[in-house]
Structure formats: C-alpha cells, structure tokens
A and B are shown apart, each in its own frame.
Chain A
C-alpha cells in the first residue's frame, strides 16, 4: 500500500474529469505567498504529509492575505504531523461550499469485494458518524467482476436523499472516481469532503489515496507519486532504514531483508520469515528482553544481503547482543546465513565470547551451518531447540552481560 500525496491524487482525479479546486505546491513560506497571490485570497494551506485526519492535527489553515499565507506556511513547514515533518504545503483556492458530503472506496477484505461508503454529512470523522448516525451512512459492495454500474452509483446518492441536478452530478463524480480507484489499482480513495459548491458544482475538496504496491509494475505513470513501502513505517524512514533498503534492493530478486528500527532496545534482531519474526519478537519481550529493531530476512537471501543487514543491525547504538532465528526453513540455505552473520560480526570486531550471540537456524544445509557458527564460538541451536527456548537464552545472556558491565 503506497500512499499518494494530495496534490498528486487530485491531479489523477482531475484527469478522470472530476472537478477539484485550483491549487499549487509550495516548498517555502515565500512561495506559499506567491502561489496564494496567483490563486487569489482567501486560500487554504494544507500540510502535504501521507497521513489522514489532518484537520484534527491542525495541519490545515486558512489565509486571507499574502502576509498571512506566508506566516501560516512558515508555521506548517516547521512542524511534524503524526511523525512526518512537513516539507511541502498545498496552497488551494477556498471553495464556497453549499454542502459537504463523504465518499470513500476501498476493499472489504472479509467480503472480498470493493465497497463504497457515502454520506451527505461530510467533513467529519466517518467512523464516528457510522457509530452515531448509521442511518446517514450508505455502505454498498461492488461486484468485483462487473465493476460499478451507473445506476448503482445513482441509487447510492438517491437513497441518501439527493435529487435534481446534484444527484446527476454526484452520480457522474462517483462513476469517475470508481474508475480512478479501479484503473489505478487503488486500495483506498477517500474524498472528504466531496462538496456541492454554491455555484452548483460537485467538487472533490480533499482526497486521500493509497495504491497497491504489488500492481505498480503496470503503472509507470505513478512511479514519482507513490511512497513505496510507506505502510511499513509509522514515520519517515531513518538513515539506517534507508541504508537497509539499499542492501535489500542491491539484489532485488534474491531473498528479502526488511529492517525496522525500534525507538529503544538492546537486542539486535535478525529473524524471519513473516510469522517467525512476529513469534520471535513476542518471545523476546515475554522474557523481559527488548529488541532494538524488527526484521524479516528470508526467501533464501545471498550471503552479501545477510552480511549487509547483520552489519546494519549491529551498527545501531546500544545493541548489546544478537538474536538470529528462523522457522525451520523450506528453501533458505542456513549455511549461507551463517557465513554472512559470522563475517559481519568479525568485520565489526564483535567477539561472540564477550558479545552475546544466540542462533536458532534449522533447515536446508544446517549441518554446515552448525559447523560455521560453532567454529566462530557462537551459541548455536538447530532443530534441537524451539525458537522460544532460544529467545529465552539471548535475553538471559544479554541481561547477564549488562549486569557484568554494571559491576565494572
């Protein structure tokens, strides 16, 4: 799920014939003033960050003059909205609004079909609205094979109470927005609010859009708009995370090495695959340990990739030990894992005699892996121990080594 910033999603929506307010992107306060003067005041200033509910977060401002635009833009550009520093501001003409509606298109994973949620009470938190006034919200599933028929779009709005020209325009907008959703492989398209202007136009005043990472190969036109992998972090990537992305992308077709930095922690965490990492992380915490990072390393990675991510994991300040564990592998060659890990430890001068390392690696070529790990003086388990048992060992050893440091 890659998030698309509002300036780009509005551009896409406009390409499909849905009206959007005139706007421009500003990177500096001075530029915001300039763009505002061109559009004519009043204007709306919105922080361009890949998070929803920006109104609530104070990331949307209104400016009546160039001076005000400049000072408000300066304010926005100096803050962080839900962990994302604001680097750009969208300057937008202020629309004279008669009515605010809500519209979203997403996929209902349980029902395995796209779902449209609409309401004539827009501009609010739709989750709250569904709880408090469910009768004001229309939820309608779309046949995945046939897509949205125009009459269905019409029924949604008519059922909510629209009639006359607004009904026709809202129907047309919904049909077009559904085309954006479907043709751009979106996972979410939310228009809140979709507005009826005082001059009788239907316009997408604010938009939030995410697209399917897995479908990006058929959308070269989106390549500059999408923040790929943005669902794997709750904040912009750290320098170390960026470096680890490079390690992974250097050999994109062989194995996976994903790395997420935790705010604190002292146990370097080199685990995989998806389920095995979750289990290992929980296990360390359950014994009172604190992983310094999360990782998923699997799919039979080459030695260079294992080496690179191990070095990255060990380079985070405060890491006092290393836990290496996988489920019993189907195809990952654990002797290759062993070579990469041992080399990284050696190159960083981490001696397993004083720097605790616990390994639980079983599966393809584990006889060779046992030899490599034990020759390096590492506490090694194959299929003679469970992941949980090994997790307990690393926590004990790191705690013991920290207690030892305390005494010195």
Chain B
C-alpha cells in the first residue's frame, strides 16, 4: 500500500499542452506512470507524447475513467479547472500552479470539502509512490530514482524542491519512501500535514514519516496536537527551516507565500517546541535526519 497514489490511479492532466505540462507528461511516461488523458480547450484530437487531448475533462473521464487530475493551467484558470474536476467526480486533484489568487483558493477549497474531494496544493511540485512507479507533477524530474526509491518512510514537505532533497536524505540513510507529497508552499492549501499523517497512520507500509517545514501557518502545531490526541503514533521526524527569520522584522516574507510570521504565531522555535513536547524527533540540523532515522528504525 501507500497513500493517495497507487497502481489504480487513473490520471489526467488539465492544461497538458503547456510547455511545462508537456515536459512533465514525458517524464511521467518515461518513469512508467500511466497518464491516460489531457485537457486543453480547442485542442481535442491532438496528442502530447501519445496522450490524447480532450476539450473537456468530462469526456476524458467518460473515456478513461479518470480518478486523479493534475492542474497545470495558468493562475487565472485554476478556479475553473478545479470546479470542472470536482463536477466530473474526480476524487483527487493536485494543483501545481503557483500564484493562485487567495479568493479563488478559498472558494474551490470550500467546494472540494463539501464534495469530499482531496485537493493537494496549490503550488505543489507533485507527489509520488515509487513502489508502483506512479508520480504526478514535476517531482523527480527526468531522474526520478536519484531521490525516490521504494521504502517505508512517508515524506511531507511544504517546499517543492525540498520534497526531493528530503527523500534523497532518506535514501542516503539506507531507506526509501512509501509516498512523498509536496503539499504546496501557500498558506491556503487543500491538504495539511495532519491530514496526511492520518493517511500514513492507516497505511501498513509506512513505518515512519519525515516532515520538512517552514515558518508560518499552524500546520506543525496542529500535527503536534494530533500526536498528543493519539491519532498518529508512528515515529515522526521533523525539520523546521527558517529559524533566522525570527530575528527579522515581523510581517516580512522569506521563502514561500505561506512562510510569514505574523502576530507572534508561526515561529519555527514554537513549532519545534510543540512537536518535541508531543514526542516527535525534532531535528536541530537537517543532516541529523540520517543518523536518527537509522537509530530509530533499526
């Protein structure tokens, strides 16, 4: 098993004819992931590296029984693409697009929640289940195995790039990943760390989870509460980057849009203290992950 993605994933890419989406399609196919369809209005009948393009997602779903969609359209069209996906009955939507207007995100996240649809992102670099060679998004690029090999560690990262680096650290320690998820760098995202921890808890193939975090939001504080409530009981290894921002003037953004300390909340030191109090293995240095993983998992 794994979470979110497996060999039953039937994937379509919304905005498949764009430059980046087409490249991602190629890399995914090369890795062995079945991308079944793409959607770009007005381009039905074309193909992208052999993947058929449709005008509407509705038709792609009818023909290919799509259950997972990846949104690669420009920011102004994300709102509509997500609504289209929800309306078509797709149950898992990953939004890769960055700079989605906040008001749009509020609305489509509310709709998705009502419809029981899992949204990853916006501003996610993707997610991957190496055992089944299934990935969505740019994650892993053209050399997926450099960072992502099958294993028993779940990875959650608020930074897209660090999803790969963290999974590579897991590999360096001698392990692999069950599923790695880039949850998106924005403050308003569909799936939080706690949401994923619940899924990893239920997954018999995940034995531990590593999180890469940044300042801002209350995702880590919420995760600490989840552990204390007994809803996540596997070993959790957490690194919170950006401690230096605490000595900078408040209200300044370093890193992703979600990484803002405001009104005294969202500080890395607070996040670390709460996670530690809840029993998580909090990393002082990112490199501590390697010896700690070995020590705890052996």
With A260-B254, A282-B244, A383-B146 already in contact, the answer to whether A112 and B212 are too (CB < 8 A) is: no
- Known contacts A231-B260, A327-B161: A364-B142 contact under CB 8 Å: yes
- Which residues of the partner chain B approach A114 to less than 8 Å between Cβ atoms? 106
Q: Taking the complex as formed, is B117 at the interface, i.e. its CB lies under 8 A from any CB of chain A?
A: no
| Given the contacts A234-B251, A330-B125, A215 and B103 also touching, CB distance less than 8 Å | yes
A375 sits at the interface (CB 8 A):
no
Known A-B contacts A279-B286, A285-B244, A386-B286; the reply to A272 vs B103 at CB < 8 A is no
CA distance in complex: A127, B264 (Å): 11
Contacts of A109 in B (CB 8 A): 187-188, 217, 258
A-B pairs under 8 A by CB, number = 165
Question: Given A185-B102, A330-B138, do A275 and B285 touch, yes or no (CB 8 Å)?
Answer: no
Q: Mark B84-104, 1 if CB is under 8 A from A, else 0.
A: 000000000000000111111
Contacts of A218 in B (CB 8 A): 76, 101
What mask results when residues 9 to 25 of chain B are scored 1 for a CB within 8 Å of chain A, else 0?
A: 00000000000100100
Q: How many of chain A's residues touch chain B, expressed as a range? A: 35 or more
Closest residue of chain A to B101 (Cβ to Cβ) is A215
- Interface SS of chain A: helix, strand, loop or mixed? mixed
Chain A, Cβ-Cβ closest to B241: A278
A214 interface contact, C-beta 8 A: yes
Interface residue? A96 (CB, 8 A): no
Cα A127 to Cα B263 in complex, Å, equals: 9
Minimum distance in angstroms from B42 CB to a CB of chain A: 21
List 30 interface pairs A-B (beta carbons < 8 Å), by A numbering. A109-B187, A110-B217, A110-B218, A112-B106, A113-B110, A143-B110, A185-B102, A185-B103, A212-B103, A218-B76, A231-B260, A233-B252, A234-B251, A260-B254, A272-B161, A274-B255, A276-B161, A276-B165, A277-B255, A278-B214, A278-B255, A279-B241, A282-B244, A283-B286, A285-B244, A327-B159, A329-B161, A331-B141, A364-B143, A383-B168
Known contacts A214-B101, A276-B159, then 5 further A-B pairs from the complex at CB < 8 Å, ordered by chain A residue: A107-B188, A279-B241, A282-B243, A331-B20, A362-B146
The 7 A-B residue pairs whose C-beta atoms are closest, nearest first, are A275-B159, A234-B249, A278-B241, A215-B101, A327-B165, A278-B242, A275-B162
Give A residues with C-beta under 8 Å from B: 1, 83, 107, 109-110, 112-114, 127, 143-145, 182, 185, 187, 212-215, 217-218, 231-234, 260, 272-279, 281-283, 285-286, 294, 296, 298, 326-331, 362-364, 383, 386-389
